[in-house]
Chain A
Amino acid sequence: DIQMTQSPSSLSASVGDRVTISCRASQSISSYLNWYQQKPEKAPKLLIYAASSLQSGVPSRFSGSGSGTDFTLTISSVQPEDFATYYCQQSSATPLTFGGGTKVEIK
């Protein structure tokens, strides 16, 4: 199975800060990497697919980069509505696997 490791597990940020979340795969997954945002009591929401493609309707302050084993989600200027938990997920092979999540909190 492909293991996905996210870091950090949590972070505190102020509105307007640049936020970076890392995700590492245990083996190469090319660009088969997706990012989701989840707010409490809600279903996950797709932000980025294929490592760097922005899902329709998602603000351009979100961006993704990377390939192979190392990936990054960046929020260029975090807004109040961005405080949530973020998950990476590999779609290279079944079983599909998610990272452990990164909780972005207000400083």
Chain B
Amino acid sequence: EAQLVESGGGLVQPGGSLKLSCAASGFSFSASDMHWVRQASGKGLEWVGLIRSKPNSDAAAYAASVKGRFTISRDDSKNMAYLEMNSLKTEDTAVYFCSRHYYAGNYYYFDLWGRGTLVTVSS
């Protein structure tokens, strides 16, 4: 069964750093583009960024709100994706979800999600 499990969330002070991990199993991780999506308490979903698979250039892309502060990476040998967050702000407080981007012909969508990990930025 395909599964994603996030870890690494917690309480961090403004200006601090945190690294989230996403462990994948049950599918071909190396062939999958992986995304991070976040959700502040009581709010909607916000796309954070993605890391493409190596066959798809291995490039990353970010939302404007996190660009220059967050870095997404992957280790295909470990079936892991990472979200490194620096210069954290209180507005980064949210549940962070890892998600697989599935391609069906010309269309793509988030078909697999983790349960999320909570990041709280507060002094």
Contact = CB atoms under 8 A, between A and B. Distances in A.
Interface residues of B, number: 20
Interface residues of A, number: 26
A98 interface: yes
A84 to B, nearest CB: 13
Interface string B100-123: 000010011111011110000000
Interface of A: 1, 31-32, 34, 36, 38, 42-46, 49-50, 53, 55, 87, 89, 91, 94-101
B50 interface: yes
Interface of A is mostly: loop
A35 to B, nearest CB: 9
Contact of A99 (B44, B104, B109): B44
Contact of B46 (A44, A55, A98): A98
30 contacts: A1-B64, A32-B107, A34-B109, A36-B45, A36-B110, A38-B45, A42-B115, A43-B97, A43-B113, A43-B114, A43-B116, A44-B110, A46-B110, A49-B109, A50-B107, A53-B107, A55-B111, A87-B44, A89-B109, A89-B110, A91-B109, A94-B61, A95-B47, A96-B35, A97-B47, A98-B44, A98-B45, A100-B44, A101-B44, A101-B45
